Structure 1
Amino acid sequence: MSTARDTAAAPRDFDFLHGDWDVLNTRRTDFLDPDSDWIRFPATSRCWNLFGGAANLDELDVPVQGWKGLTLRLFDVQSGLWSLNWSSSRSGRLFPPVLGRFGPDGRGVFLGDDTHDGKEVRVRYVWSGISATTARWEQAFSLDGERTWLSNWAMDFTRRTAD
């Protein structure tokens, strides 16, 4: 599978994610503290296509921590951008979307604004390392207008094989 993409977003950019995955999460215990500890925990994910590829849903199941997450991705035909919309069973709320696209290097960069622990944060998601059997998602926050970023969560996806 080639990871090179056109610079313009396309309604099938997330086709690589469809199916079932094992996910290794690596997360800071405090998203805003660069000295906080990292924890690791497993999860599974299932992603399916909607709107002929111009949308998809995935559900992340984290039984060791007792919660689930959901991402709704929508391709905006007019702007040519994807919106990535996250929700968790822990809060039951839909977080503000991050917007972006994949570049010619195969990396997808998506940016948005949110709050965390009462502080305004700029949020960045990056999709990389995409192949037929792997993908990586990373989240980082900026408190200083994107001058610096603090990585605080990564998910390494490995495609599940049929038993």
Structure 2
Amino acid sequence: MKPLHLLRPLLFAFLPALVLYPRPGFPQERAASVPARRDGQHDFDFEIGTWRTHLKRRLRPLTGSNSWVEMKGTTVVRKVWNGRGNLVELVAEGAGGRFEGLNLRLYNPQTRQWSLHFANSRDGTLAIPTVGEFKDGRGEFYAQERLDGRAILVRFVISNVTPDSVRFEQAFSDDGGKTWEVNWIAQDTRVDAAAGGAKDGAGSD
């Protein structure tokens, strides 16, 4: 038998291998316990088509004002890139005049999130995109923008999704998301409800 003082160097030489070499099956067990993120590239399939839109807009957000205008119009949604993108065109009229808006939505297969790029005909430029995803049939999308020179947070929510109706809501926050003030509410109803929509739309796996 070798003296103890000769065995110690051998023991310490093998310690790194014992530490770095994992127990068989352990990494696989841990990886299996982490659920894979869902593929959401068809989340907006339900919305392809033509919709009647009832729109409410707050005139002066984050000023303490509670003045709203209501407008009615039509929203047309077209699929691009086989569903990994879509183009939304909204035309509405009412007490607030005429509104023409466009929303280009693009899906990122790496992050599995959507970016929503909004523009209106008044200035003809794309706003900072809101980014997010659908969970359990509800879409939430966020961005940081500026309003009258102040940094604010933007939250855009898509909810109450059915084949023939859907609700959109936009809110601003100027306190880092502690409180939110809603400034845009749109309720869409499919023009040809009899045609129905994709049954496996937003939030489905």
Q: Same fold (TM over 0.5)?
A: yes
Match of residue 106 from structure 2: 74
- Is 1:54 the counterpart of 2:48? The answer is no
Cα distance, 1:87 vs structure 2: 0.3
Match of residue 103 from structure 1: 135
SS at match of 1:16: helix
SS at match of 2:87: strand
Query: What's the CA shift string for 1:84-113, capped at 9, x where partnerless?
Result: 000000111100000000012x11000001
| Greater per-residue helix proportion | 2
Match of residue 155 from structure 2: 124
Cα distance, 1:35 vs structure 2: 3.4
- Is 1:112 the counterpart of 2:143? The answer is yes
Cα distance, 1:39 vs structure 2: 1.6
Tell me the number of residue pairs that the alignment of Structure 1 and Structure 2 aligns.
156
Confirm or deny: 8 A CA contact 2:105 2:114 kept in the other structure.
yes
Cα distance, 1:7 vs structure 2: 6.5
Gaps of 5+ in 2: 1-35, 194-205
Matched letter for residue 98 of structure 2 = G
Cα distance, 1:34 vs structure 2: 4.0
Q: Which structure: larger Rg?
A: 2
Greater RCO, 1 or 2 (C-alpha within 8 Å, sep 6+):
1
Confirm or deny: 8 A CA contact 1:9 1:101 kept in the other structure.
no
Confirm or deny: 8 A CA contact 2:130 2:156 kept in the other structure.
yes
TM norm structure 1 = 0.90
TM norm structure 2 = 0.72
Which aligned pairs between 1:144-159 and structure 2 lie closer than 5 A?
Answer: 144-159=175-190
Confirm or deny: 8 A CA contact 2:73 2:90 kept in the other structure.
yes
Confirm or deny: 8 A CA contact 2:37 2:112 kept in the other structure.
no
Cα distance, 1:126 vs structure 2: 0.2
Distance 1:130 1:35, change over 3 A: same
Matched letter for residue 74 of structure 1 = L
Gaps of 5+ in 1: 1-5
Could you list the structure 1 runs, at least 4 aligned residues long, displaced by more than 3 angstroms after superposition: none
| Greater per-residue strand proportion | 1
Distance 1:7 1:101 in 2: 11
- Is 1:161 the counterpart of 2:192? The answer is yes
Distance 2:146 2:40 in 1: 29
